[in-house]
């Protein structure tokens, strides 16, 4: 007689007819018999030397059970599905954000530029306030006016250089193009002059056929110029008021969040602002050194448009990797056209030397851990920003990524700037009906004089003491 793990009689043994002698030899699932049977701890019935395993004992031993409904799906599949719909939700949210930015780009981009200008001008404004005792508004205005004066000076200087040197450069370029055509005719390609002229005629004909497209492109450029001027005005206006009332504006923004998240958001914002300031000031210094190095090298070689090349390198240095490569290539081409291949090779050596000093010495030393992004991450971020928003995306991709990196790490418990401390707190506005009454009292009463008894209690204190106390949790 077999015994199952629960100690009951095996169903197959009960199937024998009553009164019939039990067959000591099992029918099919055992080859030997034994008068004794034992059940091991794993639920397997042993009859002598042969173990008989039933479906009940196998299920009990392996812990297998029939899955119904959602339990029939493997845990790995459920986990992958959960991650998938969350990822799709995040992607949809980011797509919505990018779409809104594209709609309001005339406002969003100037505000972003104003933030960069604010962190750059903040030390100058603080110096004017503290050292020279300027009022806050005057210090901010002086800083913005000084920035505008520097930009206009660079434009005028570069414009004069372009006007004076462009004619000579154009003649050199035309001569270089003619030399190239002669080489195509007499060089290894062996192109005939008639074929070259035919190619040139095809280019001219293509330009004539697409003249309407070129005109519409010129009109779009005019529209873009109008948007740039409007954006410049918005950026300067926002920069001025960020310098004057930046703290108040930030407190208002943080005050829109739930009360329990305001302090952490404020501390994370402080650290993000330090990262943004470190990036902006470092990029300004690195761009200036690049511009001076390449501009001075071009001037020593006697290359025309040395100052405009320096200004172009200064602007291009704000786009990591891509900007340095493009502006360096332009400097080499100008040297090649103006002075020949020897000057072009020398200019190439100067560009490579300046860029190596920038990438291996200046960037690690000046930025440090403030903008701790791996070069691969920087390259991917710049590429993604360029694909999404063009030149603007390339300019703002790295600072946005650096700020997000600092803020996210802080929310996850890693403080990159512990020296900032936590003494700086954001002003939390009171909530509910009591907040409205307190605000009205501050506007109407203010900090009045003390009472005649000299107790030091102001009129505002008396007014507030009469307000009904709101129970905790009711706002």
Question: pLDDT at position 309, please?
Answer: 85
Let me know whether 420 and 277 are in one domain. Answer: yes
Question: pLDDT at position 64, please?
Answer: 54
Residue 107 lies in a domain: yes
Residue 23 lies in a domain: no
Question: pLDDT at position 8, please?
Answer: 45
Residue 75 lies in a domain: no
Let me know whether 242 and 329 are in one domain. Answer: no
Residue 76 lies in a domain: no
pLDDT digits (tens, 9 = 90+) for 272-298: 999 998 888 888 888 888 889 998 999
Question: pLDDT at position 390, please?
Answer: 79
For residues 457 and 464, the answer to whether their CB atoms sit within 8 Å is no
Let me know whether 110 and 242 are in one domain. Answer: yes
The mean pLDDT value for 57-76 works out to 66
Question: pLDDT at position 146, please?
Answer: 94
- As for how many domains the chain has, the answer is 4
Question: pLDDT at position 139, please?
Answer: 94
The mean pLDDT value for 124-146 works out to 94
Say how far apart CA 108 and CA 102 lie, in whole Å.
Answer: 9
Short-list 426, 442, 430, 439, CA closest to 475 = 430
Let me know whether 189 and 283 are in one domain. Answer: no
User: Residue 96 above 70 pLDDT?
Assistant: yes
Question: pLDDT at position 335, please?
Answer: 86
Q: Is the dihedral of CA 244, 250, 251, 255 positive or negative?
A: positive
For residues 40 and 28, the answer to whether their CB atoms sit within 8 Å is no
For residues 110 and 238, the answer to whether their CB atoms sit within 8 Å is yes
For residues 349 and 365, the answer to whether their CB atoms sit within 8 Å is no
User: Residue 23 above 60 pLDDT?
Assistant: no
Let me know whether 393 and 266 are in one domain. Answer: yes
Residue 158 lies in a domain: yes
* Structural domain containing residue 160: 102-208+222-256
Question: Can you read off the two tokens belonging to residue 266?
Answer: 């404020």
Strand-pair category, 37-39 with 45-47 = antiparallel
For residues 44 and 56, the answer to whether their CB atoms sit within 8 Å is no
pLDDT digits (tens, 9 = 90+) for 189-235: 666 665 666 776 677 667 666 655 555 554 444 456 777 788 889 99
Write a three-state SS string for the chain. CCECCCCCECHHHHCCCCCCCCCCCCCCCCCCCCCCEEECCCCCEEECCEEECCHHHHHHHHCCCCCCHHHHCCHHHHHHHHHHHHHHHHHHHHHHHHHHHHHCHHHHHHHHHHHHHHHHHHHHHHHHHHCCCCCHHHHHHHHHHHHHHHHHHHHHHHHHHHHHHHHHHHHHHHHHHHHHHHHHHHCCCCCCHHHHHHHHHHHHHHHHHCHHHHHHHHHHHHHHHHHHHHHHHHHHHHHHHHHHHHHHHHHHHHHCCCHHHHHHHHHHHHHHHHHHHHHHHHHHHHHHHHHHHHHHHHHHCCCCCHHHHHHHHHHHCCCCCHHHHHHHHHHHHHHHHHHCHHHHHHHHHHHHHHHHHHHHHHHHHHHCCCCCCCHHHHHHHHHHHHHHHHHHHHHHHHHHHHHHHHHHHHHCCCCCCHHHCCCCCCCCCCCHHHHHHHHHHHHHCCCCCCCCCCCCCCHHHHHHHCCCCCCCCCC
Phi, psi of 321 (to 5 degrees): 65, -70
The mean pLDDT value for 21-44 works out to 48
Residue 177 lies in a domain: yes
Which of 196, 230, 256 is at the close of a domain?
A: 256
Residue 60 lies in a domain: no
Let me know whether 375 and 406 are in one domain. Answer: yes
pLDDT digits (tens, 9 = 90+) for 390-410: 778 888 888 999 999 999 999
Say how far apart CA 370 and CA 429 lie, in whole Å.
Answer: 32
Say how far apart CA 382 and CA 323 lie, in whole Å.
Answer: 10
Let me know whether 137 and 174 are in one domain. Answer: yes
Short-list 280, 317, 253, 286, CA closest to 123 = 280
Question: Can you read off the two tokens belonging to residue 295?
Answer: 């501009």
Let me know whether 37 and 135 are in one domain. Answer: no
Let me know whether 265 and 329 are in one domain. Answer: yes
Sheet containing strand 50-52, strands side by side: 37-39, 45-47, 50-52
Let me know whether 138 and 266 are in one domain. Answer: no
Let me know whether 39 and 151 are in one domain. Answer: no
Say how far apart CA 422 and CA 438 lie, in whole Å.
Answer: 27
Let me know whether 346 and 310 are in one domain. Answer: yes
Greater pLDDT, 93 or 51: 93
């Amino acid at each position: 007689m077999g015994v199952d793990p629960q100690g009951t009689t095996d169903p197959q043994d009960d199937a024998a007819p009553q009164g019939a002698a039990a067959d000591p030899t099992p029918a099919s699932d055992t080859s030997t018999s034994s008068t004794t049977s034992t059940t091991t701890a794993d639920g397997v019935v042993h009859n002598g030397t042969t173990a008989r395993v039933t479906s009940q004992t196998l299920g009990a031993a392996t812990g297998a059970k029939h899955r119904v409904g959602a339990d029939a799906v493997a845990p790995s599949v459920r986990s992958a599905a959960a991650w998938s719909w969350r990822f799709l939700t995040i992607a949809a949210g980011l797509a919505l954000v990018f779409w809104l930015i594209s709609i309001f780009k005339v406002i969003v981009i100037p505000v972003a530029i104003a933030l960069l200008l604010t962190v750059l001008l903040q030390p100058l404004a603080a110096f004017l306030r503290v050292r020279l005792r300027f009022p806050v508004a005057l210090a901010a205005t002086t800083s913005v006016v000084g920035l505008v004066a520097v930009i206009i000076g660079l434009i005028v200087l570069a414009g004069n250089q372009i006007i004076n040197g462009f004619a000579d450069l154009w003649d050199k370029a035309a001569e270089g193009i003619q030399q190239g055509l002669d080489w195509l005719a007499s060089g290894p390609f062996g192109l005939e002059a008639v074929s070259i002229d035919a190619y040139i005629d095809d280019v001219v004909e293509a330009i004539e056929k697409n003249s309407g497209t070129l005109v519409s492109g010129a009109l779009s450029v005019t529209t873009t110029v109008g948007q740039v001027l409007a954006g410049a005005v918005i950026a300067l206006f926002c920069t001025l008021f960020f310098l004057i009332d930046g703290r108040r504006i930030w407190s208002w923004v943080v005050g829109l969040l739930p009360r329990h998240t305001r302090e952490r958001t404020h501390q994370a914002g402080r650290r993000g602002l330090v990262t943004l300031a470190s990036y902006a000031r470092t990029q300004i210094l690195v761009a200036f050194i690049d511009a001076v190095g390449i501009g001075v090298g071009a001037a020593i070689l006697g290359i025309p448009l040395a100052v405009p090349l320096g200004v172009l390198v200064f602007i291009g240095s704000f786009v990591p990797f891509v900007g340095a490569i493009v502006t360096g290539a332009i400097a080499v081409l100008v040297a090649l056209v103006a002075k020949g291949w020897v000057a072009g090779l020398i200019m190439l050596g100067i560009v490579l030397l300046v860029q190596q000093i920038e990438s291996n010495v200046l960037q690690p030393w000046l930025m440090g851990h403030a903008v701790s992004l791996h070069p691969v991450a920087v390259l991917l971020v710049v590429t993604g920003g360029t694909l999404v928003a063009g030149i603007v995306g390339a300019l703002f991709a790295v600072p946005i990524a650096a700020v997000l990196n600092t803020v996210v790490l802080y929310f996850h418990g890693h403080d990159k700037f512990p020296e900032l401390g936590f003494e700086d707190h954001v002003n939390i506005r009171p909530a509910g009906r009591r907040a409205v009454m307190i605000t009205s009292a501050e506007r109407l009463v203010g900090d009045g004089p003390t009472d005649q008894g000299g107790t030091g209690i102001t009129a505002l204190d008396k007014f507030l003491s009469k307000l009904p106390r709101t129970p905790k949790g009711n706002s």
